[in-house]
Amino acid sequence: MRRPVAVRVIGPVQWIVIPALVTVAVTILLATPVELFGLNLPEPVIPMVLAFSWPLIRPSVTAPLVLALLGLILDVLTYGPLGLWALALLAIYAVVLASRSFLIGQDTAVLFAWYAACCALAFLMAYLVVTVIAHNPPSILALIGQVVPTLLLFPFADRMIERFEDGDVRFR
């Protein structure tokens, strides 16, 4: 006699809503004007983790809408041009979604290389858009100060992919 297999169904609340709310909370927390030992808190682009991991977990219609909303919230918090980070996050989502069949099941080092390339693409887009809008290029040191903490967030993306990738066997 065959035993029934328990299927762990992961809904959008677990892999979209909760991570998005945590991302907003941490982004607001890091945007506070706190100074420790003469240094400000780092300001990584935390939604970049979600833009990279969501298309690998499960393609969805909801995820790009939430990413656009997160990008707009990030634009408001950083006093940037409205739509800048929404565009960058959606570009990352599109690149990872297009290469999803290659990236599924890859080693962590390969995923980090793709994450770093996606971060480079997003920050290059943001740099060029701000340069065109302001007619003055932003500081490279400030850009590096935002890129490095964003790259250091890769373990969260990797953990999220490992946790939710096989969450629902119906989408394999």
**CA triplet 84, 152, 43: central angle to 5 degrees?**
45
Place of tokens 């793709």: 114
Tokens of 79: 């006093």
Asked whether residue 63 is domain-assigned, the answer is yes
Asked whether residue 104 is domain-assigned, the answer is yes
Side chain identity, residue 36: L
Asked whether residue 5 is domain-assigned, the answer is no
CA neighbor of 158 nearest in space, from 89, 120, 112, 98: 112
Asked whether residue 69 is domain-assigned, the answer is yes
Asked whether residue 143 is domain-assigned, the answer is yes
Asked whether residue 100 is domain-assigned, the answer is yes
CATH number of 86's domain = 1.10.1760
Instruction: Give the per-residue pLDDT at 42.
Output: 86
Instruction: Give the per-residue pLDDT at 120.
Output: 97
Residue 100: domain span: 12-166
Tokens of 31: 């945007």
**How many domains are there within the chain?**
1
Tens-binned pLDDT, residue by residue, of the chain (172 aa):
666 655 556 677 788 899 999 999 999 999 888 887 888 888 899 999 999 999 998 888 999 999 999 999 999 999 989 999 999 999 999 999 999 999 988 999 999 999 999 999 999 999 999 999 999 999 999 899 999 999 999 999 999 998 887 654 444 5
Q: How far apart are CA 10 and CA 65, in angstroms?
A: 19
Asked whether residue 90 is domain-assigned, the answer is yes
pTM reported for the whole predicted model: 0.88
Asked whether residue 171 is domain-assigned, the answer is no
Q: How far apart are CA 101 and CA 121, in angstroms?
A: 20
Instruction: Give the per-residue pLDDT at 40.
Output: 82
Q: Where are the alpha helices (DSSP H) in 58-153?
A: 62-77, 84-98, 100-103, 108-134, 140-151
